[in-house]
């Protein structure tokens, strides 16, 4: 088998070695419960405090606005359900039709409980604009939830403009920023975000840990009842090792953000240049403002699933779309939402390059695609 080429960084990322090393003491010798008052618990307790401060500084928040969770899915569920269930009048929630299922499914659960939900259709380029939001929002809208960057086509949404429209109409604004945090600049206070979801394994941290930013003064229903952890909002003993690893990974990514972006952009540019000159017929999905390194490519008349498996046989890892929905061979809801022709949609793959990829990787991927489409 050929050398493994991992080009599915939008699905998960390689663990940051410094983050792994930072976790180890809390998995071995420093195993104390951070909620306890004795001396042995002081290091875990301080580690949580330090991690909260580091993460807050990376997204322009204050430490008390960071609530640790098990990941993006929990954070999304909490933001959507936790704000809606406090609203006795069952006011509406607005989201987009191309959100991750971690947002869509909680919204559907609200609908089953009698809460109205509206689903905005993005433009064909993959954007929810302020004008689109204005068509849907009313004075009865309680929460607007729009992802920061789409996980399948990479389009980065105009979050600051959307926040302004939401607030002008008395709505809170939540964003699923799982694909954005650690990869592009995010400043929650400057943008006007009320709640933001993030997941560590998307920015080289460990799996099974994430956070929810909740703006100071905003009330949400506690996620779980029990102990007083996480300011009384999320009961349960904290995953100290995971939280420490998450903070280190995020800080490392944010400290090298510009360098990483330039490097990944060069790899992307090299790949696109090679693809353009290859003679392979394709379209690239999404507008011009996209996450660096994420390419949604549609090959007319092809079978995206077959392309994935043929590349897999060569040791190349890519995706047909959302990694969380890889068992479903139907055209993804994201591609449907941008009205992509079925002939193209069924032949769609996602290549997501990261800082660990090389120019040799992109050349090898292109050569493999040429063998698939020129034989």
The residues assigned a catalytic role are: 324
Q: If you write DSSP's letter for every residue of 296-357 in order, what string do you get?
A: EEE-TT--HHHHHHHHHHTTEE-BSS-GGGTT--SPPHHHHHTT--HHHHTTEEEEE--TT-
Dihedral sign, Cα of residue 164, residue 63, residue 10, residue 83: negative
Q: Which ranges of 71-224 would DSSP assign to H, the alpha helix?
A: 72-84, 101-112, 130-136, 159-168, 188-191
Distances (CA, A) of 181 to 10, 17, 213, 253: 12, 19, 12, 9
Q: For residue 85, how many other CB atoms are within 10 A of its CB?
A: 14
Distance CA 227, CA 231 (A): 10
| Cβ neighbours of 335 (radius 10 Å) | 24
Residue 79: HSE in the Cβ half-sphere, 13 Å Cα cutoff = 39
CB count within 10 Å of CB 91 equals: 17
Residue 281 contacts residue 300 (beta carbons within 8 Å): yes
* 282 vs 365: CA distance, rounded Å: 15
- For residue 93, give both structure tokens: 């929630």
Q: How far is CA 122 from CA 54, 84, 286, in A?
A: 34, 23, 11
């Amino acid at each position: 088998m050929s050398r493994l080429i991992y080009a599915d960084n939008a699905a998960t990322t390689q663990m940051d070695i410094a983050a792994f090393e930072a976790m180890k003491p809390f998995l071995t010798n420093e195993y104390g419960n951070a909620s306890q008052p004795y001396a042995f618990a002081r290091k875990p307790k301080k580690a949580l405090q330090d991690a909260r401060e580091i993460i807050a500084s990376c997204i322009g928040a204050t430490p008390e606005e960071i609530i640790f969770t098990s990941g993006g899915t929990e954070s999304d569920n909490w933001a959507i359900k936790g704000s809606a269930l406090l609203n006795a009048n069952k006011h509406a929630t607005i989201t987009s039709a191309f959100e991750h299922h971690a947002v869509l499914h909680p919204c559907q659960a609200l609908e089953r409980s009698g809460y109205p939900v509206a689903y905005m259709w993005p433009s064909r380029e993959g954007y929810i604009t302020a004008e689109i939001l204005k068509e849907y929002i009313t004075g009865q809208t309680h929460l607007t939830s729009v992802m920061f960057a789409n996980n399948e086509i990479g389009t980065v949404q105009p979050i600051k403009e959307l926040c302004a429209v939401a607030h002008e109409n008395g709505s809170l604004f939540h964003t699923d920023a799982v694909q954005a945090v650690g990869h592009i600049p995010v400043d929650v206070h400057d943008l006007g975000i009320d709640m933001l979801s993030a997941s560590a394994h998307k920015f080289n941290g460990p799996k099974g840990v994430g956070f929810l930013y909740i703006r100071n003064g905003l009330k949400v229903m506690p996620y779980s009842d029990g102990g007083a952890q996480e300011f009384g909002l999320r009961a349960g003993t904290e995953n100290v090792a995971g939280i420490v690893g998450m903070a280190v990974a995020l800080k490392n990514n944010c400290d090298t953000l510009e360098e990483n972006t330039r490097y990944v952009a060069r790899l992307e540019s090299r790949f696109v240049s090679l693809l353009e000159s290859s003679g392979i017929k394709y379209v690239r999905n999404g507008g011009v403002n996209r996450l660096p390194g994420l390419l949604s490519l549609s090959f007319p008349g092809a079978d995206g699933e077959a392309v994935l498996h043929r590349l897999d046989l060569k040791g190349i890892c890519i995706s047909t779309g959302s990694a969380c929905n890889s068992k479903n061979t139907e055209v993804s809801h994201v591609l449907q939402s941008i009205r992509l022709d079925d002939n193209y949609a069924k032949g769609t793959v996602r290549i997501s390059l990261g800082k660990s990829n090389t120019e040799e990787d992109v050349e090898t991927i292109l050569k493999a695609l040429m063998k698939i489409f020129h034989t």
